[in-house]
Amino acid sequence: MHSESLPINRPFDISFLQNYIDRSKYIFTLFSIEGKIALCGVILIFMVALFAPVLSVYLPDKITGSSLEPPGPTHLLGTDELGMDIWSQICYGARMSLVIGLSVACIAGLGGGALGILAGYLGGPTDQLLMRTVDVLMALPSFPLLIVISAFMGPSILNVICVLVLFSWAKPARVARSQTLAIRDNTYIIAAKNFGGTPVYILRRHILPEMLPILFVLIISITSYAIVAETGLAFLGLGDPTSKSWGMMLYYATSFKAIYFTSFWQWWLIPPLVALVFLVLSLAFIGRDLEQVLDPRLRKNGGV
């Protein structure tokens, strides 16, 4: 199998990417109905985030109307207490959620994954050190600590991302390590080594293809975790006050005195709530379907 070509010295080959595109098309056909709807939902939110300036007439942080206008023709979803348009806050808020969610997930998922593979491959003290760190990180009460750390670091988007990465790389690292350990001693890896395969070659050819799908599922779940955590922090008043995220909208709406005794909550509190629940549920269903498609054991049982 390995003798037909000598890919050892070849630069990164692109056919492996094409392979992935074909596979993702195939995977989509295996999705359940909920999964397909969820994927469309996430794409929709992506589009809203991308075309926010086109979709909304006003800027989210400019006063364009009178205070607390109900939904109407000039302001689609009404205005908040300062007279800012709620629909444009929703559009621009999608950007915040997606940027934070995806960047945390990519850094934590890929970085944690890389550390895990390294630890699993090298073994010894590196492995020990990493695993003890992961143990401690996973035993810490993450949300209370998250609150304190972000209060201490100050409320900027970059800080929120850093703190969330700090708390979410442990799981991908642990999963990647155990996978590497499980794959490492297989006879085909030993064979590849005996044929002169360098560690980089073995990593790219044998370990990464096994690992990427698992990491991808984890990345989706971290995205969702990060979005929820950012919302939670913002909801407590620890978000970036200059940004208009969905969590900040919830924070401003719920801290408005006696909002529940008026009808303001109907257009001020419900839109960000619906948007968040929709996004989180969509990500969850995609993650679930992907897991079922990628894990052959689950597929056989018809999704137990």
Partner 1 sequence: MNGNDRNTLIYRFVITLLVILAINFFLPRMMPGDPFSTLSSDIEGEDVIIMTEEQRQYFIHYYGMDLPLHEQFFLYLANMAKGDFGQSIYYKLPVTRVILLHLPWTILIVLSATAMSTIIGIIIGTISARNRKKGSDRFMMAGLIAFAEIPSFLLGIILLLIFSVQFRLFPLAGAITPFAHYTSLLDQVWDIAHHAFLPIITLSLAQLTGVYLLTRNTLITVSTKDYIRTAVAKGIGEKTVWTRHALRNALLPVVTRTGFMIGLMMGGAVLVETVFSYPGIGLTLRSAVVNRDYALIQGILLIVAVAILLCNLVVDRVYRQLDPRVTE
Binding stretches for partner 1 (CB under 8 A): 34, 132, 135-136, 139-145, 147-149, 151-152, 154, 224, 228, 231-232, 235-238, 250, 254, 260, 265, 269-270, 273, 276-277, 280-281, 284-285, 288, 304
Q: How far is the CB of 300 from partner 1 (least distance, A)?
A: 14
Please say which residue, 106 or 273, places its beta carbon nearer to partner 1: 273
Give the other-Cβ count within 10 Å of 108's Cβ.
27
Q: How far is the CB of 285 from partner 1 (least distance, A)?
A: 8
Radius of gyration, CA atoms only, the chain = 23
Please say which residue, 117 or 222, places its beta carbon nearer to partner 1: 222
Q: How far apart are CA 104 and CA 112, in angstroms?
A: 11
CB 160 within 8 A of CB 150: yes
How far, in Å, are 71, 152, 226, 265, 276 from residue 68 at the CA level? 9, 33, 30, 10, 22
Q: How far apart are CA 160 and CA 153, in angstroms?
A: 8
Please say which residue, 139 or 200, places its beta carbon nearer to partner 1: 139
Please say which residue, 59 or 273, places its beta carbon nearer to partner 1: 273
Q: How far apart are CA 228 and CA 297, in angstroms?
A: 30
Please say which residue, 34 or 81, places its beta carbon nearer to partner 1: 34
Q: How far is the CB of 12 from partner 1 (least distance, A)?
A: 37
CB 175 within 8 A of CB 130: no
Q: How far is the CB of 53 from partner 1 (least distance, A)?
A: 27
Q: How far is the CB of 236 from partner 1 (least distance, A)?
A: 6
Q: How far apart are CA 231 and CA 19, in angstroms?
A: 37
Q: Would you say the C-alpha torsion 298, 219, 225, 133 has a positive or negative sign?
A: positive
* CA 189 to chain centroid: 32
Please say which residue, 211 or 275, places its beta carbon nearer to partner 1: 275
Q: How far is the CB of 191 from partner 1 (least distance, A)?
A: 35
